[in-house]
Structure 1
Amino acid sequence: MAEVVRFAPSPTGNIHIGNARPALINWLVAMKTGGQFILRYDDTDAERSRTEYAENIAEDLAWLGVKPDRVEWQSKRMGLYDTVANKLREMGRLYACYETPDELDRKRKRQRARGLPPVYDRAALTLTDDQIAAYEAEGRKPHWRFMLDQKTISWQDGVRGDQSIECDSVSDPVLIREDGTYLYTLPSVIDDIDMGVTMVIRGDDHVTNTAVQIQLFELLSGKSPKFAHHNLIINASGEGLSKRLGSLSIRTMREEGYEPLSVAIFAVLNGTSDPVQPLADMNALADLFALDKVSRSSSKFDMADLGHLNARILHETEFDAVSDRLASLGVEGGDVFWLAVRGNIERFPEAREWWDIASNGLGADAVEKSAEDADFYAKATELLPREPWDETTWKSWTSALKAETGRKGKGLFMPLRVALTGRSHGPELAAFLPIIGYQRSVDRLS
């Protein structure tokens, strides 16, 4: 079945790896079923929503490879929400409440002290006209609650299996704040109905909202979409992710040179029965992913793990796939250079660092040669073959050095690596030496 799905971020900050997870999962399900993916901005919070954040979200999703079939803004649909809210009032299912937050908090504390669940007692339904008039004379504005049918709501969750919630253990939810603005629940249900959403895929922190929303769906349209609640991503210390953690934002990962495919693979496969592994492209990820592979426990995100995956993907990337990117970095070494260095980089911008080492200089952070190796370097210079060079030059040169000096292993190779690259580790010198060239090699050995 072709599924119509949606991702509904709030444009109140940049999205992070935890937000990317539901966006990617929804998009992959749409791709896999030949369905439709809707990007719907939950921007009803006028004070915190920013156009620039919405633009950043669109850019970050595009970078990941997510292409919406439709883009909507909830702030442009307020008239529809007002119409449905009035309908609910006429049906007697949306009722005005005048308690302040402090009064509600005290009421919940009293219920807990008596061993009762802190469920709203529907006291607002017993208010007289005089009591309402007195509250309004005080300047109180009502918030509006949806009256739940106190029954059991059950559904087959696409990730969690059989689920049920007893609605008599749930407070009637507030749908409209005192200032007249809508909370998430009502606009979301109205939009899902209006846009023909067939499956709601989101984080498992929304499981407890589902019974309320199913009641609204059934009341307003006679049916409910399917639901699937995936596990959440937590950070390395076990805490939930937040937009305040800029280091985990997709934008920061872009700026730091991570591959979009590695971020997408990690966001989707981490916390599933499939290993996090390099894949050819997003089509391969869509073919591999399935909702029934998602674990019910949280998945842990560690930048080091992302770095390892990113490196593995780069190590298998062919020159044709990165030639334009190398040119944009000012790297001119062609496929010979890329094949020489790709096995030693974790993030793509590091290719520029190795190009600078090969063609310009070792830099201020270069490891210094040992004065004790002066005679060795003199002999190495003497035995260095003249160009032209190829991948066999390194072996013939070091074999001659070994015969002349008696050095072998690390004692032979490490001083040469330090002199030629200024680093104690790096690309295989058999491939890298011809890129450095004869004259630069002589200069660095001297």
Structure 2
Amino acid sequence: MSATVRFAPSPTGRLHAGNIRTALFNFLLGRKAGGSLVLRLDDTDKERSTEEFAESIREDLAWLGLDWTQEVRQSDRFALYRVAVERLKAGGRLYPAYETPDELELKRQLQLARGRPPVYDRAALKLTAEEKAKLEAEGRKPHWRFLLEPRDVVWDDLVRGRQHVDAASLSDPILVREDGTYLYTLPSVVDDIDLGITHVIRGEDHVANTAPQIQLFEALGAAPPAFGHHNLLVGPDGQALSKRERSNSISGLREEGIEPMAVASYAAIIGTSDPVAPHASLDALIEAFDFGKLSRAPARFDPHELRLLNARLLHALPYEAVAARLRALGASGGPAFWITVRGNLAVLGDARHWWRVVEGPLAPVIEEPALCRAAAELLPPEPWDGETWSIWSNAVKQATGAKGKALFQPLRLALTGEEHGPELKHLVPLIGRARAAARLNGKIA
């Protein structure tokens, strides 16, 4: 069966890995079922929603390769919500309540003090027309609550299995505020109906919303979609990820040079039974995708582990996958250069450094001048290949008596200026005889 899914971020901040995990699960399910993904911008918070954040959401999703077939904005859809409100009122499922936030909190505290669950007592349903008129004459404006039917609500969660909630244990949710603005539940359900959403995949922090939403779907004459609630991501400290933490934002990871498939692989795999390993493509993630692999425990998003995964991904990439980006970095050494340096890269941008090592100019580090001068005199004629380093270093060893680290480290420092790096047997042919001779003699080359 085809699936129509949606990703519904609020453009009030930048996407972080937890948001992307939800986007990925929706994308993977939609693609695996041959369906489509709708991007819904939940921008009803006019004060905090910005076009800058909306554009950053689009950029992040596109960077990760998560494409969508349709984009809608809730701020354009108020007419639909007004129709739904009138239908619920006409059906007796939406009623006005006049308590202030302070009055509601007092009720809540009294119920807790008496050992009772803090469920709204539906006092507003007992108000007469005269009492309502008096409250409104005092300047009070009602908020509107959805009247829940006192029955067991059951659904087969795609992640958590069979779930049931006794709606009698819940407060009637507020759908419309005193100022006429909508809380999340009403626009979300109306949009899901209008857009034909068949599967709602979201974090487990929304489980408590599901029973009222199922009743709201039914009250509006629609069959509820399938629901799946995945485990959440937390930081290494166990705390929730924040939109305001730049290091966890997708744009921040992109600017750092993390590969999109490293982010996608990590966000989709942690907290599952699969080993954390880089996937070469979204198609590979789609093939491996299975809600049955998800743990119920929160998954820890560790930026350090992500960076290690990113390095593993780079180390396995063929030259063809990075050729254009290497040229854009100014590193035009071709396949031989890439194969030589990729094992030493944390991010692709590090290749620029190793190209400078190869191409120069580079200031050598001379720790053993006599050894380096002798090595320069023993440089073999070109052409050089993978055997050149072994032949040459053995000749230097025979001539100077230096061996092991005492031989290799001074030569590495003189040729590359670095204590560590790619294997010299691969790097030396790229540097070439002229530059090698100049550097061994202490010259910038």
Q: Alpha-carbon deviation of 1:318?
A: 1.0
- Which position in structure 2 is the counterpart of 1:440? 435
Mean Cα displacement is larger for which, 255-264 or 132-141? 132-141
Structure 2 equivalent of residue 103 of structure 1: 103
Q: Which residue of 1 aligns with 2:298?
A: 298
Secondary structure in 2 aligned to 1:38? Answer: strand
| 1:231-269 Cα deviation digits (max 9, x unpaired) | 111111101111111111111111111111111111111
Distance 1:131 1:443 in 2: 96
Q: Judge conservation of contact 1:9–1:41 (CA < 8 Å) in 2.
A: yes
How far did 1:96 drift?
A: 1.3
Cα deviation 1:192-217 (Å, max 9, x = unaligned): 11111111111111000000111111
Q: Where does 1:30-109 land on structure 2 (aligned, <5 Å)?
A: 30-109=30-109
Residues 20-66 of structure 1: CA deviation (Å, up to 9, x unaligned): 01111111111111112111111111111111211111111111011
Q: Using the TM superposition, name which of 40-49 and 203-212 deviates more.
A: 40-49
1:376 deviates by: 1.7
Q: Does 1:389 align with 2:384?
A: yes
Q: Which residue number in structure 2 is paired with residue 336 of structure 1? A: 336
Q: Which amino acid aligns with 1:145?
A: R
CA-CA distance at 1:69 after TM superposition: 1.4
Q: Determine the structure 2 residue equivalent to 1:317.
A: 317
Q: In the aligned structure 1, how far is the partner of 2:178 from the partner of 2:331?
A: 59
The question of whether the paired residues in 1 share the 8 Å contact of 2:7 and 2:23 is answered with yes
Q: Which residue of 1 aligns with 2:27?
A: 27
Distance 1:406 1:96 in 2: 94
Q: What residue identity is the alignment partner of 1:51?
A: E
Instruction: Give the distance between the partners of 1:65 and 1:158, measured in 2 at CA.
Output: 24
Q: Which moved more, 1:3-12 or 1:138-147?
A: 138-147
Aligned to 2:144: 144
Structure 2 match to 1:117: 117
Within the candidate set 405, 417, 425, 2:420 is matched to 425
SS at match of 2:77: helix
Find the aligned partners of 1:98 and 1:356 in 2 and give their Cα distance.
Answer: 71
> CA–CA distance in 1 between the matches of 2:269 and 2:289?
7
CA distance in 1, matches of 2:5, 2:30: 7
CA positional deviation for 1:422? 1.7
2-structure distance, mates of 1:252, 1:355: 25
Contact 1:152 1:165 in 2 (8 A): yes
The answer to whether the 8 Å contact 2:366/2:372 transfers is no
Deviation at 1:222, TM superposition (A): 4.3
Counterpart-to-counterpart distance in 2, 1:243 and 1:280: 27
- Per-residue CA deviation, residues 71-100 of structure 1 (Å, 9 max, x unaligned), is 111111110100110111111211112222
- Residues 136-175 of structure 1 correspond to what in structure 2 (within 5 A)? 136-175=136-175
Change (3 A) 1:418 1:134: farther
Amino acid at match of 1:395: S
The code of the aligned residue for 2:396 comes to: L
Q: Distance in 2 between the 1:416 and 1:205 partners?
A: 58
The amino acid across from 1:127 in the alignment is L
Contact 1:193 1:221 in 2 (8 A): no
The whole-number CA distance in structure 2 between the counterparts of 1:304 and 1:212 is: 40
**What pairs with 1:324-363 in structure 2 (closer than 5 Å)?**
324-362=324-362
CA contact (8 A) 1:201 1:227 kept: yes
Q: Which moved more, 1:415-424 or 1:131-140?
A: 131-140
**Partner amino acid, structure 2, of 1:81:** Y
**Structure 1 residue 337 displacement after superposition:** 1.1
Paired positions, count: 441
1:214 and 2:220 equivalent?
no
Deviation at 1:317, TM superposition (A): 0.8
Counterpart contact for 2:331–2:352, Cα < 8 Å = yes
Is 1:11 the counterpart of 2:11? The answer is yes
In the other structure, the counterpart of 2:248 is: 248
Q: Which amino acid aligns with 1:22?
A: T
Deviates more, 1:125-134 or 1:174-183: 125-134
Q: Is the 8 A contact 1:8 1:41 kept in 2?
A: yes
Distance 1:119 1:220 in 2: 24
Q: Which moved more, 1:434-443 or 1:231-240?
A: 434-443
Say which SS state the counterpart of residue 154 (structure 2) adopts.
Answer: strand
Deviation at 1:132, TM superposition (A): 2.7
CA distance in 1, matches of 2:144, 2:101: 13
The runs of at least 4 aligned residues of structure 1 exceeding 6 Å deviation read none
Amino acid at match of 1:129: A
| SS of residue matched to 1:349 | helix
Whether 1:405 and 2:400 are equivalent positions in the alignment is yes
Residue 201 of structure 1 pairs with residue 201 of structure 2:
yes
Q: 1:100 to 1:362 in 2, by over 3 A?
A: farther
The amino acid of 2:412's aligned partner reads R
TM-score by length of 2: 0.96
Q: Tell me, which stretches of 5 or more residues in structure 2 are unaligned?
A: none
How far residue 377 of structure 1 moved from its aligned partner, in angstroms, is: 1.7
Q: Which amino acid aligns with 1:12?
A: T
Provide the C-alpha distance between the structure 2 equivalents of 1:265 and 1:193, rounded to a whole number of angstroms.
31
Counterpart residue type for residue 28 of structure 2: L
Within 2, Cα distance between the matches of 1:399 and 1:6?
64
SS at the partner of 1:18? helix
8 Å Cα contact 1:146/1:173 also seen in 2: yes
Instruction: Check the 8 A contact 2:358/2:430 in 1, yes or no.
Output: yes
CA RMSD of aligned residues (A): 1.5
Amino acid at match of 1:40: R
